[in-house]
Chains A and B, each alone.
Chain A
Amino acid sequence: MKNLDRLSGIILFLLGLGIFLKSLTYPIGSFRSPGGGLFPLLASILLMALAGSLILQAFWKKNKGEASPASFFSSKEAPKRIIVGFAALLGYRYLLPLIGFALSTGVFIFFLSKFLGKYGWTVSLFFSGITAFVAYYLFQVWLKIPMPIPLIGF
């Protein structure tokens, strides 16, 4: 956790620095008449200070030799499952305008049930087919949510 603290502290410090520099490009005004850049400027200074203390704290605890902690993932399979999960979300996002709501939903649900839910082919196909059908009629036909018009298919 201490290594993670150090890493997240550095990332957050850099984020603060980026916001600080970007804030300088907005009208700062004065304390009497604050401009749009003043509030983010002050908040970014505070963020850099706190991120700095998080980094120092992590170094200090490491030097004190505090016990190091459990690994980032809870199981061996976890990183693979997380990557597959986010890949499915991104895939769904990009398939949606390409092949339409019903078909992309079917593919998405099938992918999740088969590869993350660990169901067999038959169950996954059946579940994804039913879900896509119900979702299509519920959201697109009944609730009339204007889903993107597909480039391919229906």
Chain B
Amino acid sequence: MEIFQNILTGFSIAITPLNLSLCLVGCFVGTLIGVLPGIGPAATIALLLPVTFTLPPATAIIMLSGIFYGAMYGGSTTAILVNIPGEAAAAITCIDGYQMARLGRAGPALGISAFGSFIAGTVGVFFLTLIAPPVAEFALKFGPPEIFSVMVLGLTILSYLSSGSLIKAFIIALVGLFIGMVGIDISGVFRFTFGIPDFYDGIGLVPVLMGLFGIAEVMLNLEQVFTRRVFDTKIKGLLPNRQDWRASAWPIARGSLIGFVLGVIPGPSNTISSFVSYAMEKRFSKNPERFGKGAIEGVAGPESANNSACAGNFIPVLTLGIPTSAVMAVIVGAFIIHGVTPGPLLIKNNPDIFWGTIASMYIGNIMLLILNLPLIGIWVRVLKISYGILFPLILLFCFVGGYANNNSLAELNVMIFFGLVGYLMKKTGFEPAPLVMAYILCPFLEEAFRQSLIKSHGDFSIFIQRPISATILTFALIFIFMNVFSGVKQQRKKLLEKI
């Protein structure tokens, strides 16, 4: 009953005119960037962070979350019509979605993708509503050693699931820690500031994110000239017929469940869940040979899974304060910028943000269904905008956002520097996600580490003597050792190749 009361409170926050309109803005922008290949939700959220500075924290988080789950809806449109995933999570939708479009069934493909996304998104938020409060309550038992261990586990899993080498992922996470150490530490020591006053408060989150995601992404795309062709078909009959629904019902149900479960795990879980869902549907199908030739199950399952995974992604953030992906790291950054610490106390200290955000996701999913079905024509037109027009505007937004964060030209230097770093990282096989996650977690990780040592009088065994901490660290060790055994290593490689 209490949960019912809480969710009603959440709705009373989410339906205020300001929150409702910014939820719509978030969903709209999310769909837009989902449709446009070349700019992802992490970069967009980073770009729009400065816009939220004057907004109340709950409103800001509602809008930024809308961008994230909205991008999953938009990503499928590009996959189906152009055979290019607007979002990495929609990559698998290209296979059967594009084939359906070629067979003149673009309408039902887009329709089932939107309906599947809506159903799974709503189911995912329902699971989030049920599961987040007990997890947060359990996490309240965590002391500094457990918090340290959870962060280490989060970083380990994210590194394990980052594409490329595990060593590189760990290295780049350590670099992220060092960036997070710049500035005054908890004991008042100025570290790595090199006498530059702009660094006394640390290196700003916004210029780092804009550099790593915005500028680096544009630079990578600039290497080649983009050409894409929208599949020349009239989109008609967006509503799937009875046979389509019969074929898609179970894939949507399975996708919703698997997406949510995988969404909780750190890493690119939206992408992984869509691949797992596709593989699962192919295995369950009585006619697996239809897959790859326009099977609607191959669109319904993955599209449902990646939307449900979005809701799952929020569990570690809202309950433990641990981001599980680059996008979530940026959202944690948004919480921090607004003076709110995500974690077990969020539900107690800021119920308006916690329940308001969850309630807004139910509303956001309805908005997205409306945005993605009747307004499909707009998105098809958006697809025709040339990248030559888009990239100067993205860079302009990066610049204005980077400067407006603190009205500082020094932050523009930081942004350009991280743009170069991000570009070089991509070129040399270093993923930005572990860096950002470590950078954001650094102050909390160090504080938990130092408090644990003070508590144990310098005894490191505190991390393994306490059962919860020991269990969590064991999981982290399992992930590290899994990489040592070649069989598992091959499996990881195969999984990452698919991603």
Contacts and interface: CB of A to CB of B under 8 A. Distances in A.
- B is bound to A: yes
A66 to B, nearest CB: 14
Nearest to A39: B446
A146 B457 CA distance: 50
25 contacts: A4-B427, A5-B428, A8-B430, A15-B175, A16-B174, A19-B178, A36-B186, A39-B446, A50-B167, A50-B171, A54-B168, A86-B219, A88-B395, A93-B413, A93-B416, A96-B409, A96-B412, A112-B395, A113-B392, A118-B225, A127-B389, A127-B392, A145-B400, A145-B404, A146-B407
B284 interface: no
B396 A131 contact: yes
A89 B215 contact: yes
Secondary structure type dominating chain B contacts: helix
B400 A85 contact: no
Contacts of A33: 454, 458
Chain A to chain B: the 4 pairs with minimum beta-carbon distance, closest first = A31-B458, A36-B189, A117-B388, A32-B458
Nearest to B169: A50
Interface in A95-141: 96-97, 105, 108-109, 112-113, 116-119, 127, 131, 135, 139
B223 A75 contact: yes
A60 interface: no
Nearest to A147: B403
Contact of B223 (A43, A74, A105, A112): A74
A30 interface: yes
Contacts of A24: none
A39 B449 contact: yes
A67 B404 CA distance: 47
B222 A47 contact: no
B475 interface: no
A31 B178 contact: no
Chain B, interface size category, equals 35 or more
Contacts of B423: 82
B493 interface: no
A89 B395 contact: yes
Contacts of A8: 428, 430
Contacts of A12: 171, 175
Contact of B407 (A30, A105, A109, A145): A145
A117 B391 contact: yes
A135 B400 contact: yes
Contacts of A16: 174
B416 A89 contact: yes
B391 A97 contact: no
Interface in A21-60: 22, 26-27, 30-40, 43-44, 46-47, 50-51, 53-54, 57
Interface in B175-197: 175, 177-178, 181, 185-189, 191-192
A90 B219 CA distance: 14
Contact of A30 (B420, B446, B458, B460): B458
Given A34-B454, A112-B391, A147-B403, A40 B191 contact: yes
B224 interface: yes
Given A86-B416, A86-B419, A92 B399 contact: yes
A151 interface: no
Secondary structure type dominating chain A contacts: helix
Interface of A: 1, 4-5, 8, 12, 15-16, 19, 22, 26-27, 30-40, 43-44, 46-47, 50-51, 53-54, 57, 72-75, 78, 81-82, 85-86, 88-90, 92-93, 96-97, 105, 108-109, 112-113, 116-119, 127, 131, 135, 139, 145-148
Given A39-B450, A113-B389, 5 more contacts: A36-B189, A39-B449, A54-B168, A88-B395, A112-B391
A74 B407 CA distance: 36
A49 to B, nearest CB: 10
Nearest to A19: B178
Contacts of A139: 400, 404
Contacts of B407: 145-146
B288 to A, nearest CB: 34
B389 A32 contact: no
Given A34-B450, A54-B167, A86-B419, A117 B392 contact: yes
A81 B222 contact: yes
A117 B395 CA distance: 13
B453 interface: yes
A82 B219 contact: yes
Interface string B398-430: 011001100101001100100110010001111
A108 B219 contact: no
A88 B223 CA distance: 15
Contact of A74 (B187, B224, B446): B224
A56 B458 CA distance: 34
A1 B429 contact: yes
A86 to B, nearest CB: 6
B392 A39 contact: no
Contacts of B409: 93, 96-97, 148
A152 to B, nearest CB: 16
Contacts of B222: 81-82, 85, 116
A44 B174 CA distance: 8
B388 A118 contact: yes
B103 interface: no
A4 B165 CA distance: 13
B18 interface: no
A109 B186 CA distance: 43
A27 to B, nearest CB: 6
